[in-house]
């Protein structure tokens, strides 16, 4: 059985937690898109892990972890993560496989990310400043790209870095009046990255197909959320990869036909970090209540997340393009204590009602939400272990989401811990 888990909103839905739980029944967990812009939290008992590049399955010592072709690998971050897990007694030796075709994020990508955002001023995207956009741009541009395989041939890499750094220095100096970067210093860093990462680098497509052929069970771990998908999200307020499950086959080299189940993760409300339209946003006391109760501050950047009501129009859209079989709804516990809850069930655009999500950011910024209002519940949910023990209004809330999205909600989060999860 192979499954794929993706976020159906603007990221941070709780994918890390769901992957950690479902990894128990898997042999291999695969990251197939994005980079260290992701921040996936796993909480086991009193231990908290915040992972940016390593798949969330890595905290389970018996699971193989793959970082596939379309992930952009920041060597500094992944080395830090490998070392920090090792310090906590979790070794990745012999079970971490990084694609030789994955592209590498280097210092000049992070510098360019910051320069571009500063230049955009109030129109900035609100990126995580992890160099994601510039690295994917170099990948598509081809001429100035570095891949994991390049760490295997240092002589060639040295010459390549010289060419790239000469080009970037001219560009950054002309556009941003920036200080030049030293190609030699960058090469020294790359030598130490190579020492540590070459042992993990392989042809992951071959590995995955051989493993699937041998009957292994693979779990694909999406990063970001489908509304941040480069081609199907709210462009330009998106990330630079196909963050929806549509990116899974291209990103991993495993066709979607080999995946038995697509699981979409949502929060019981909506959050977004960074800029861009957000129709059901509650920039008011409700948003503040959710932010504080749900600890809605970024795992990667610490930024406060924008909070709002659950948007069934957006989730119906992402569940449709993502071929979603079932929804995992996290943070139901966070809504306790709100007297009346709202769910956006349609949009009004120029007086006309629609239930189909316009991914075009300009159109989306003009929509007005049509809400269904339902009664909330007072009781805290964090100790509940059975769906039938939830307050009636909480059960009804889940069932309304099912009705509006036409998808079953089969996993429900009532707290951040692995154990605080209900199954239906």
Binding footprint of Mg ion on the chain (CB under 5 A): 12, 39, 299
Binds 37: which of Mg ion, ligand IMO, ligand GDP, none (CB < 5-8 Å by kind):
ligand IMO
Distance from the first to the final alpha carbon of the chain: 19
Q: Binding to ligand IMO by residue 228, rule CB under 6 A?
A: yes
Question: Of residues 126, 152, 376, 391, which one binds ligand IMO by CB under 6 A?
Answer: 126
40 is catalytic: yes
Distance separating alpha carbons of residues 286 and 118, to the nearest angstrom: 31
Residue among 10 and 377 whose Cβ is closer to ligand IMO: 10
Inter-axis angle of helices 183-197 and 107-120, nearest 10: 120
150 is catalytic: no
Contact 398, 407 (CB under 8 A): no
Considering only 212-220, 247-255, 293-301, 387-395, which stretch makes contact with ligand GDP by CB under 6 A? 293-301
Binds 228: which of ligand IMO, ligand GDP, Mg ion, none (CB < 5-8 Å by kind):
ligand IMO
Question: Cα 94 from chain centroid?
Answer: 25
Spatial neighbors of 179 by CB under 8 A, at least 6 apart, are none
Identify residues 112-141 at the interface with ligand GDP (CB under 6 A): none
Identify residues 129-168 at the interface with ligand IMO (CB under 6 A): 130, 132-133
Residue among 364 and 414 whose Cβ is closer to ligand GDP: 414
Residue with tokens 């210092």: 107
Question: Of residues 4, 30, 38, 254, which one binds ligand IMO by CB under 6 A?
Answer: 38
List the x/- string, 313-342, binding to ligand GDP by CB under 6 A. -----------------xx-xx--------
Which run of H or of E encompasses 194? helix 183-197
Q: Binding to ligand IMO by residue 128, rule CB under 6 A?
A: yes
Residue among 232 and 291 whose Cβ is closer to ligand GDP: 291
Judging by beta carbons within 10 Å of its beta carbon (0-12, 13-18, 19+), is residue 123 exposed, middle or buried? exposed
Number of residues that bind ligand IMO (CB under 6 A): 25
Long-range residue pairs from 302-306, CB within 8 A, at least 24 positions apart, any chain: 303/273, 303/274, 305/12, 305/271, 305/272, 305/273, 306/271, 306/272, 306/273, 306/278, 306/281
Distance separating alpha carbons of residues 243 and 223, to the nearest angstrom: 6
Binds 391: which of ligand IMO, ligand GDP, Mg ion, none (CB < 5-8 Å by kind):
none
Of 307, 314, 374, 312, the residue nearest 345 (C-alpha): 312
Q: How far is the CB of 42 from ligand GDP (least distance, A)?
A: 8
Q: Binding to ligand IMO by residue 127, rule CB under 6 A?
A: yes
Considering only 7-15, 71-79, 137-145, 408-416, which stretch makes contact with ligand IMO by CB under 6 A? 7-15
Identify residues 388-417 at the interface with ligand IMO (CB under 6 A): none
Distance separating alpha carbons of residues 240 and 168, to the nearest angstrom: 20
Spatial neighbors of 54 by CB under 8 A, at least 6 apart, are 31, 65, 67, 78, 81, 82, 85, 92, 96
Q: Binding to ligand IMO by residue 274, rule CB under 6 A?
A: yes
Task: Give catalytic residues, as residue numbers.
Answer: 12, 40
Q: Which residues bind ligand IMO (CB under 6 A)?
A: 7, 10-12, 37-40, 125-128, 130, 132-133, 223-225, 228, 237, 239-240, 273-274, 299
Site residues, ligand GDP (CB under 6 A): 7, 11-17, 39-41, 43, 294-295, 299, 330-331, 333-334, 413-416
């Amino acid at each position: 059985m192979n499954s794929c888990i993706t976020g159906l909103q603007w990221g941070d839905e709780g994918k890390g937690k769901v992957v950690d739980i479902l990894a128990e029944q898997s042999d291999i967990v695969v990251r197939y898109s994005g980079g260290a812009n992701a921040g996936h939290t796993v909480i086991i008992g009193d231990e908290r892990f915040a992972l940016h590049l390593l798949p969330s399955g890595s905290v389970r010592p018996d699971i193989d972890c793959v970082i596939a072709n379309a992930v952009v690998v920041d060597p500094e971050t992944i080395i830090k993560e490998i070392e920090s897990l090792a310090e906590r007694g979790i070794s990745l030796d012999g079970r971490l496989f990084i694609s030789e075709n994955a592209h590498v994020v280097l210092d000049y990508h992070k510098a360019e990310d910051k320069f571009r955002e500063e230049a955009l001023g109030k129109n900035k995207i609100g990126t995580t400043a992890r160099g994601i956009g510039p690295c994917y741009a170099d990948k598509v541009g081809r001429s100035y790209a570095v891949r994991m395989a390049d760490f295997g041939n240092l002589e060639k890499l040295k010459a390549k870095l010289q060419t790239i750094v000469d080009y970037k220095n001219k560009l950054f100096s002309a556009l941003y009046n920036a200080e030049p970067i030293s190609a030699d210093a960058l090469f020294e860093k790359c030598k130490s990255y190579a020492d540590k990462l070459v042992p993990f680098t392989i042809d992951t497509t071959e590995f995955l197909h051989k493993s699937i052929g041998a009957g292994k069970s693979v779990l694909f771990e999406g990063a970001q959320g489908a509304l941040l998908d480069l081609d199907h999200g709210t462009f330009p307020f998106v990330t630079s990869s196909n963050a929806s499950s549509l990116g899974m086959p291209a990103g991993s080299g495993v066709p979607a036909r080999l995946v038995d189940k697509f699981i979409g993760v949502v929060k019981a409300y909506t959050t977004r970090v960074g800029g861009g339209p957000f129709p059901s946003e509650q920039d008011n006391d409700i948003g503040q209540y959710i932010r504080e109760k749900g600890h809605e501050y970024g795992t990667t950047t610490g930024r406060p997340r924008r909070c709002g009501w659950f948007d069934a129009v957006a989730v119906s859209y992402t569940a449709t393009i993502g071929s979603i079989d079932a929804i995992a709804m996290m943070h139901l516990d966070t809504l306790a204590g709100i007297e009346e809850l709202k769910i956006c069930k349609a949009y009004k655009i120029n007086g006309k009602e629609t239930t189909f999500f316009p991914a075009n950011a300009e159109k989306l910024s003009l929509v007005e939400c049509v809400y269904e209002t339902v009664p909330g519940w007072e009781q805290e949910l964090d100790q509940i272990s059975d769906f039938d023990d939830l307050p009636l209004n909480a059960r009804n809330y889940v069932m309304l989401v099912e009705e509006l999205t036409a998808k079953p909600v089969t996993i429900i989060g009532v707290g951040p811990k692995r154990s605080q999860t209900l199954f239906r």
